[in-house]
Structure 1
């Protein structure tokens, strides 16, 4: 019984052992599966952690770079703004600036300048300049200087040229007129009978006739009122009766300004008959004031220097300020041709008394009738300013001799007298007297101002002389 029990026991043990073995196998499999799941879980967590770590590092780097860029940019912007502010603080106002504290362009400053010119604003400046030119142009004229030369048919010179060059002129030996030069003038006054024009003396010097061309293109002949060679000024007159109503309406008297108010750097406009081509305009600034310029004749003049182009033909034209006022009379003769940008003008304020005196002189026309032309009957030598200083004597025309039977001989003129004025007009050279005699008929009485030696010193005297006839057989010579 026990054996059966034993067997039963063995079978159960075997079954229990099999079950236990199966359970162990299952447990091992489950353990392995759990271990695998745990490993996979850990691997997944590790990968996710790595991915998270990588993502976090990228954003940290991106944020770091961005913050660094912002910081550097802020510093650069601050430095740039500081430089700009410093530059703006030291830079003058320009036409492109829009600050509300800029001076209005319509406000004029001393010397007639506008703020637009000071700031370089070209549009308003150009409009202002064009308006000034339109306003001043009717007051400016062109002057044509015509002269006469003698066409001698007899004599050694004529024979010489005829021999070598053949017959040059088949006409008779009558005088021929030609255009000697062109210049400009400024209408400065008008009387009931005349229009008065100021110009340079060298523009009209030696003229047998003067033709004035006005702004409307019309022309008229002019007569000389007075000249002053030392100041290089002259006034000529045109009869109003020679002008049409249209011309009178197209012209006007210029407005004279105060040249003493001008300052270096002030804008100016030069208007004149440049090169004889007609009226033209140049623009510049006042380069210097009270500039002493000595001419080839030894005469020193105090002038306005400008860089506005003053070319031949501009002489006698106007230098105007930005108010349209004439402040100078251009002189191309004195312009420096060796360098650019050096032109000169005679200041109107300093010469106002001279111009007024010339304007009030009697208008005279050239005596064309040879039978009426006059002569003074002296031998004269020019005493220029340098000679006068060296010899301690007055400048003018020294009487070195008087011709027998001449008006000078029968007058109170003495040899060694120095003539300084002829009929109230200052003379500096012997040519001045010859030029003035063209406007006086023989038999006319004129007053001469002379310097005469008395007790070792020169004293001024006035001598009245009746002019003789130039066609008389007397030798009259002048030495410059």
Structure 2
């Protein structure tokens, strides 16, 4: 009996110790969840945030869709029906119809469109969003920027789109493309500005600055409006890059500041007045950076100065790197050409350059770029100063500024001096105009020129 009681007491004692140890360790490892203090930060409403981030395009679309028109271009060409007509010209007249878009920019019916939309037109017809149709008059064109101005008339005012400032457009900004793709009138597509000052490099010497957008643009959109969410015109839709011929994700528009300047020049002067700094420039590249010990990678390198130009008078020098124009950043040549494309001769532009590691500012008065496109030779030429001629050992000539076609661009003729055409001396672009207008179109053209090495050569164009 005593043995049983002893065993019971031992078991009871051991159980007490075991239970006490379990309770001790359980309390040490217990995770306690305490009620947090009230946060000082109040979360925003999800619905309110979504509302703030939503962009409403309906107002911009309503403001602009009635001012974008359908442009129909009828051209008449002669198709040869026999070998004699093929060799001598002539044939049966044949009408061809093309179409595009246009933007009414004033209540009295002025319309801006692309030059390629109305090129060679014998008849222009404009249809508004309300299906009213008008005969249109061609006012003027500028093939270099692919901008044209036409006009329609009516007793009442037309809806129109006001110009916006394309210099202030930001990458990522929402935009609408309004036009008539595939003859589907009054079509609106949305996207963002993908890039600014885009140079398509269609061929050498034809640098142009475009706005790039991912708003869908297709055939028939050419000449239509690119507008911001306020319904302001910031570009004229002009081109796409595509292997299929249809939209593949991005498109290009002439900035509104450039288009506006072109049409104002056409109205005031009958042609486009181009202002230039008077410098030879190039984008920075590893070769230039290494040769001149340049410590920046963005900007426009000044490779030469035209004597007597605004840049020369202001004090800009060869080797300077242009960083800004009127405070607008310049990272490449397309930035510079795009900004100057909205300026005129005698405008003053503040040019910020980097020289010997120090930024300097120069007010430069733009000079007029006087050029003439010799279509039959496939080149554009400009007047040059007597000082430049003397430096080349020449008495007369005009300088080739760019090629007008990819075929001619292969010969790298930029910078050559044309001294004679058909053995007649060329002193200025007026001589070139006169000779080309008086020549016999059935005879070849002889062009005599000095190349960059100082050699005199001649080309025969048939």
**What is the TM-score normalised by the length of structure 1?**
0.50
Note the 1:135-214 alignment, pairs <5 A.
Answer: 135-150=63-78, 175-179=93-97, 181-191=98-108, 195-214=109-128
Q: Does the residue aligned with 2:209 lie in a helix, a strand or coil?
A: strand
Pair 1:330–1:455, CA change in 2 (3 A): same
- TM-superposed CA distance for 1:258, in Å, is 0.8
> Are the aligned partners of 2:67 and 2:161 in contact in 1 as well (CA < 8 Å)?
yes
> Are the aligned partners of 1:226 and 1:361 in contact in 2 as well (CA < 8 Å)?
no
> Are the aligned partners of 2:397 and 2:428 in contact in 1 as well (CA < 8 Å)?
no
- 1:458: which partner in 2? 428
Pair 1:304–1:322, CA change in 2 (3 A): same
The structure carrying a bigger helix percent of its residues is: 1
- Matches of 1:41 and 1:142 in 2, distance apart? 113
- TM-superposed CA distance for 1:347, in Å, is 1.4
Pair 1:361–1:223, CA change in 2 (3 A): farther
Count of residues in Structure 1 that have an aligned counterpart in Structure 2: 296
> Are the aligned partners of 2:211 and 2:235 in contact in 1 as well (CA < 8 Å)?
yes
Deviations 1:54-94 (A, max 9, x none): 3223323432442xx56xx99xx9xxxxxxxxxxxxxxxxx
> Are the aligned partners of 2:211 and 2:252 in contact in 1 as well (CA < 8 Å)?
yes
- TM-superposed CA distance for 1:199, in Å, is 0.3
- 2:180: which partner in 1? 273
> Are the aligned partners of 2:107 and 2:159 in contact in 1 as well (CA < 8 Å)?
no
- TM-superposed CA distance for 1:342, in Å, is 4.2
> Are the aligned partners of 1:225 and 1:236 in contact in 2 as well (CA < 8 Å)?
yes
- TM-superposed CA distance for 1:142, in Å, is 1.7
- 2:197: which partner in 1? 290
> Are the aligned partners of 1:297 and 1:384 in contact in 2 as well (CA < 8 Å)?
no
- 2:365: which partner in 1? none
Note the 1:174-323 alignment, pairs <5 A.
Answer: 175-179=93-97, 181-191=98-108, 195-241=109-155, 252-296=159-203, 299-323=206-230
Structure 1 residue 336 corresponds to structure 2 residue 241: yes
- 2:61: which partner in 1? 133
Deviations 1:181-219 (A, max 9, x none): 22111100133xxx1110011101122222222222333
Pair 1:308–1:98, CA change in 2 (3 A): farther
- TM-superposed CA distance for 1:477, in Å, is 6.3
- Matches of 1:382 and 1:174 in 2, distance apart? 25
Instruction: Indicate the structure whose relative CO is greater, using CA pairs within 8 Å and at least 6 residues apart.
Output: 1
- Matches of 2:429 and 2:5 in 1, distance apart? 136
Note the 1:441-456 alignment, pairs <5 A.
Answer: none
- TM-superposed CA distance for 1:240, in Å, is 0.8
Q: Does the residue aligned with 1:189 lie in a helix, a strand or coil?
A: coil
The structure carrying a bigger strand percent of its residues is: 2
- 1:407: which partner in 2? none
- Matches of 2:427 and 2:81 in 1, distance apart? 50
Q: 1:49 aligns with which of 13, 17, 24?
A: 13
- Segments of 5+ residues of structure 2 without an aligned counterpart are 37-41, 271-373, 386-395, 405-420, 446-460
- Matches of 1:176 and 1:297 in 2, distance apart? 34
- Segments of 5+ residues of structure 1 without an aligned counterpart are 1-35, 78-96, 106-115, 159-172, 363-379, 394-415, 419-427, 430-450, 468-473
- Matches of 1:202 and 1:133 in 2, distance apart? 26
Deviations 1:148-181 (A, max 9, x none): 23366666689xxxxxxxxxxxxxx8634332x2
**What is the TM-score normalised by the length of structure 2?**
0.52
- 2:27: which partner in 1? 63
- Matches of 1:145 and 1:190 in 2, distance apart? 23
- 1:354: which partner in 2? 262
What's the Cα RMSD here?
4.7
- 2:376: which partner in 1? 382
- Matches of 1:213 and 1:417 in 2, distance apart? 48
- Matches of 1:212 and 1:316 in 2, distance apart? 12
- Matches of 2:5 and 2:60 in 1, distance apart? 97
